Amino acid sequence: MEKPVNNRAWFLVLPVLVLVAFSAVIPLMTVVNYSVQDTFGNNEFFWNGIGWFKEVLESDRVHAALGRQLLFSAIILAIEIPLGIFIALNMPRRGFWASLCLVLMALPLLIPWNVVGTIWQVFGRVDIGLLGHTLAAIGIDYNYVNDPVDAWATIIVMDVWHWTSLVALLCYAGLQSIPDAYYQAARIDQASRWGVFRFIELPKMSGVLLIAVLLRFMDSFMIYTEPFVVTGGGPGNATTFLSIDLVKMAIGQFDLGPAAAFSLIYFLVILLISWVFYTVMTAQREVP
């Protein structure tokens, strides 16, 4: 029997297509459009080919921002992933305390980015902030406004405070799905605590861990609001990450062409690194 073929069903996709085009494709294409043109004002544009891309790729300023960004994401992942796993392993499994932990852990995730930034901006101030003042009182020379290291430390601690819960909650969900029999079998096999973690908990968590790593990487690589509120990218350019630099370029200097090229490269870098993470982590799981 022949299957009936009726391509008119595609019309049902049309509303989504229109919506996505309106909200994503057309704006993106505008950016692509800007990235290959130059203007001297008056709304007159000239074709510039890959000129802006070359400029961005050769720009020391962008290189520096990219370097800072990579370092930031690497530090964030290196702290939040192990810490999240550690917290998840030590959370109570059931009962009142488990619920309480879950609620407390979820709290930072509910706070808007700019509020988190403001909280830490005030918290770290030497004159009126609890943290800054306390550190000064016990004789530690801390000032995130002047000192690049202090600025980095503040932003990293802030991000860990804000997002480790996410990793912990994901890992916790992964751990909860492990049947008791695995732990019992491990006890019978006399596996050490490390053995239980290495051969039962970690493999069973690997799925959610992949999601956690991807989410945290993408989020930290695109971080904007919190450092913008706390340090504004300073002192100097010490905490000027890619997105802050991009906004400076696009809106501060109104260099639309380079900014558009920058955006596209930025987008491709995120895509590339996410793909690498995904491929490496899934390949490890699927070796026969």
Partner 1 sequence: MARITLDNLAHSYNRHPKDESDFALKPMTLTWRDGGAYALLGSSGCGKTTLLNIISGLVRPSRGRVLFGDRDVTDLPTAVRDIAQVFQFPVVYDTMTVRQNLAFPLKNRGVPADEIARRVEGVARMIGMEETLDRRARGLTADAKQKISLGRGMVRHDVNAILFDEPLTVIDPHMKWELRTQLKALHREFGHTMIYVTHDQTEALTFADEVVVMSEGRVVQAGTPQSLFDKPEHTFVGYFIGSPGMNLLEAEVDGATARVAGATVPLAAPYRLKPGRVQIGVRPDAARLSGGTEGVPFRLERVEDVGHHRILRGRVGDQVFNLLQDEGVPIPEGASRVTLDPARIGVFVDDWRVEPLERAA
Interaxial angle between packed helices 256-286 and 51-58, expressed in degrees from 0 to 180 and rounded to the nearest 10: 70
The residue from 191, 211, 222, 270 that contacts partner 1 (CB under 8 A) is 191
- Compute how many other C-beta atoms are within 10 angstroms of the C-beta atom of residue 83: 14
Q: Note whether 224 binds partner 1 by CB under 8 A.
A: no
How far apart, in Å, do the first and last CA atoms of the chain sit? Answer: 40
Q: Note whether 192 binds partner 1 by CB under 8 A.
A: yes
The residue from 113, 199, 224, 277 that contacts partner 1 (CB under 8 A) is 199
The residue from 188, 193, 236, 254 that contacts partner 1 (CB under 8 A) is 188
Q: Note whether 95 binds partner 1 by CB under 8 A.
A: no
Measuring CA to CA, which residue among 207, 216, 210, 215 is closest to residue 178?
A: 207
Measuring CA to CA, which residue among 177, 241, 206 is closest to residue 85?
A: 206
- Say if residues 35 and 53 touch (Cβ distance below 8 Å): yes
The residue from 204, 234, 235, 255 that contacts partner 1 (CB under 8 A) is 204
Judged by CB under 8 A, the stretch of 22-30, 104-112, 188-196, 236-244 that binds partner 1 is 188-196
The residue from 128, 137, 181, 283 that contacts partner 1 (CB under 8 A) is 181
Judged by CB under 8 A, the stretch of 5-13, 110-118, 122-130, 187-195 that binds partner 1 is 187-195
Interaxial angle between packed helices 202-221 and 148-176, expressed in degrees from 0 to 180 and rounded to the nearest 10: 140
Amino acid at 178: I
Q: Residues in the site for partner 1, rule: CB under 8 A?
A: 179, 181-182, 184-185, 187-192, 195, 199-200, 203-204, 287-288
